[in-house]
Structure 1
Amino acid sequence: MEILQRGGVVALPTETVYGLAANAEDELAVRRVFAIKGRPATHPLIVHLAGVEALPDWASYIPEQARRLAEAFWPGPLTLVLPRTPRATDAVTGGQDTVALRVPSHPVALAVLRALGGGLAAPSANRFGRVSPTTAEHVRQDLGSEVDLILDGGPCTVGVESTIVDLSSGPPTILRPGGLAAEELERVLGCPVPVRTASTVRVSGSLASHYAPRVGVVLVEPSEAIPRAEALRSQGLRVGVLGPVNLTLPRDLPRFDIPEDPAGAARLLYLRLREADEAGLDMLIACLPPAQGLGMAVRDRLARAAAPRPPEA
């Protein structure tokens, strides 16, 4: 706790991915998070809170739908975008009039937040645009000694980032699919909650290229995996396949299995992308899951992993 209070940066586990946490009200500490990640200053951070009772400290207006979602899903993998109070600084919000807020459910993260008595700005603990970490070892591999402390809370149970819902103006919309399915949101609110592909509100993980491994990623339906892999192998490329465990593949084709159920696929997705990097592949053929439940989040992460990447700085 002393590390955070004196402006340090701590990597800690959440149920979604490991976060790179700093006191959200310490502007110098927040800017250090941006520097460690190599993250653009205009790309806002999510403020993590200890409980729903802290919501009025950070949000100047809380519509009834936001309260219902917070009561139903916090602690958990849901982020709410709301009009900010002065407590949310430009350093955290990227200069916007809104702030992204959530209450994580991991006991380690909650214990730190309760001891701090404030908010933590905590993006994923990895280099900007790369694959998010779901174990403490992933953080060590990515950031090493640049972090003051790494708290090991075991593997993340959700495995993809939170679902971001914009309630700052107008009907609720999803700005980033994540660890809470749209169907669950709609069940509580009793209305459709669509995914908005374009928004004036900037949020974490909204760039076209994001969550990207070093290996090139090609998206296919499962039935297309073998023909696409063989076509690329005929060009002399080292190729592997990311797909469901029941997918039949040639024995000499490296495979990176994920469970058939969407929640299981989400939990292991980033681990498998990292394993594909470690295998030294040129291309990874990634099978798209059905667009249902957490399958939406998996498809979103794979689409961003496969998008054209900005040139290296």
Structure 2
Amino acid sequence: MQTNYLMNTEEDIAQAARLLQAGEVVAFPTETVYGLGADATNDEAVGKVFAAKGRPADNPLIMTVGDVEQIAPYVQITDQAKQLMAAFWPGSLTMILPIKEGMVSMLVTGGLQTAAIRMPENEVTRALIRQAGFPIVGPSANTSGKPSPTTAAHVKHDMAGKIAGIVDDGPTQVGVESTVIDLTAKTPTILRTGAVTQEELQKVLGVEVADATSTKSIADDQAPKAPGMKYRHYAPDKDVYVFDPLDWDDLQTKLGENDAVMADEALLKQLKNADQPSWSLGENLNQASENLFAGLRFFDDVPEIEKIYVESMPEIGLGKAYNNRLAKASGGRLFQGPESE
């Protein structure tokens, strides 16, 4: 299959919309990561997304919309959903809501009677969806299980020849996927951390919001309500180790010449070996979240790199989402000093 490489011009957006209308798969930009789009009402088109990603069929897909009006035919919009839409849409928040009977493909919901809905901040993508005339599915545009794509080049690396088009709107700004909140539970519950924090959600809703990201386990025969809950995610082929910045000096005594380190600018300025493979996470938490997946993907493609050591961040705000993705990428491997492996 030929993959059309498109830019963010009106003509290219119109071409991408026509591809979607023809039942094809098109990668699109958001403020978080690049997504893989197809007509959410077309089972055949949705099936192409699963095939391109190599994604398990019981792993639900997020429905991405261009405006609030697009979701009304498909899901029941609760009062809490209206509150959160007013506060955070367009933006990095996905809501799980009850579906209207017969209106949403079971391929999209993973066989459940709920659907995950999001309206991204990216203007190009919202224009694309409005021109297409229907909601599109929007999983990250990468091979299933691998680090999410934050540039069109990342998408091309994984998806060239597998999908019909890629719309390039430059690097993403957030770098980690949206927060997912389940509004069908008795207590609103975060199923995936992201840029919208638990504290912000509680302030808008005026009620307790639970966080199930560290405690929610999914059985083999159970369908997850949100992406990233059940299957291996964000993981390079190389071994990834998480290190605390307090262990920086010890880590430097452990690094081999084929080990890569990903850290903030302040730590990298203290790197003793000028030839050590390194990747800057930037100067603050927002930049670290933007740069995490790009660094993991970069070193995963360098043949001589054997291990990747990545700095953890304070467990507050966006740091929770950053550390969550990093924990999944590392499979829980921690650097704990010069004697540890």
TM-score, normalization: structure 2? 0.85
Q: How far off is 1:84 after superposition?
A: 1.0
Q: What percentage of residue pairs aligned between the two structures are identical? A: 41
Over 3 Å counting, the alpha-carbon distance change for 1:110 and 1:75 in structure 2 is same
2: distance between equivalents of 1:229 and 1:190? 47
2: distance between equivalents of 1:229 and 1:209? 29
Superposed CA RMSD in Å reads 1.8
Could you tell me which runs of 5 or more consecutive residues in structure 2 were left unpaired when the two chains were aligned.
1-16, 219-223, 334-341
Q: CA offsets, 1:99-137, max 9 Å, x none?
A: 000001111110111112211011111100001111111
1: distance between equivalents of 2:271 and 2:246? 11
Cross-structure match for 2:272:
250
1:23 partnered with 2:39: yes
Could you tell me which runs of 5 or more consecutive residues in structure 1 were left unpaired when the two chains were aligned.
none
Q: How far off is 1:58 after superposition?
A: 2.0
Question: In 1, are the aligned partners of 2:42 and 2:105 still within 8 Å (CA)?
Answer: no
TM-score, normalization: structure 1? 0.92
Q: CA offsets, 1:161-218, max 9 Å, x none?
A: 1100000121111100012222322221233423203166431122363111222111
Cross-structure match for 1:273:
296
**More deviation, 220-229/162-171:** 220-229
Cross-structure match for 1:297:
321
Over 3 Å counting, the alpha-carbon distance change for 1:186 and 1:261 in structure 2 is farther
2: distance between equivalents of 1:50 and 1:78? 14
1: distance between equivalents of 2:61 and 2:53? 12
1:63 partnered with 2:78: yes
Q: Which residue identity is paired with 2:313?
A: P
Q: How far off is 1:232 after superposition?
A: 5.3
**More deviation, 257-266/296-305:** 257-266
**More deviation, 157-166/254-263:** 254-263
SS in 2 for 1:223: helix
Over 3 Å counting, the alpha-carbon distance change for 1:232 and 1:208 in structure 2 is farther
Q: How far off is 1:285 after superposition?
A: 1.2
1:145 partnered with 2:161: yes
| Equivalent in 63, 67, 74 of residue 51 of structure 1 | 67
Q: How far off is 1:292 after superposition?
A: 1.0
SS in 2 for 1:187: helix
Q: How far off is 1:15 after superposition?
A: 1.0
Q: Which residue identity is paired with 1:283?
A: K
2: distance between equivalents of 1:65 and 1:141? 39
SS in 2 for 1:145: coil
| Equivalent in 72, 91, 106 of residue 76 of structure 1 | 91
- Number of positions where the alignment pairs a residue of Structure 1 with one of Structure 2: 305
1: distance between equivalents of 2:74 and 2:249? 50
| Equivalent in 46, 49, 56 of residue 33 of structure 1 | 49
| Equivalent in 180, 189, 195 of residue 211 of structure 2 | 195
Cross-structure match for 1:287:
311
Q: Which residue identity is paired with 1:184?
A: E
Q: CA offsets, 1:267-309, max 9 Å, x none?
A: 1111111222234411111111001111111001000001179
2: distance between equivalents of 1:132 and 1:17? 7
Question: In 2, are the aligned partners of 1:258 and 1:268 still within 8 Å (CA)?
Answer: yes
Question: In 2, are the aligned partners of 1:209 and 1:306 still within 8 Å (CA)?
Answer: no
Cross-structure match for 1:221:
244
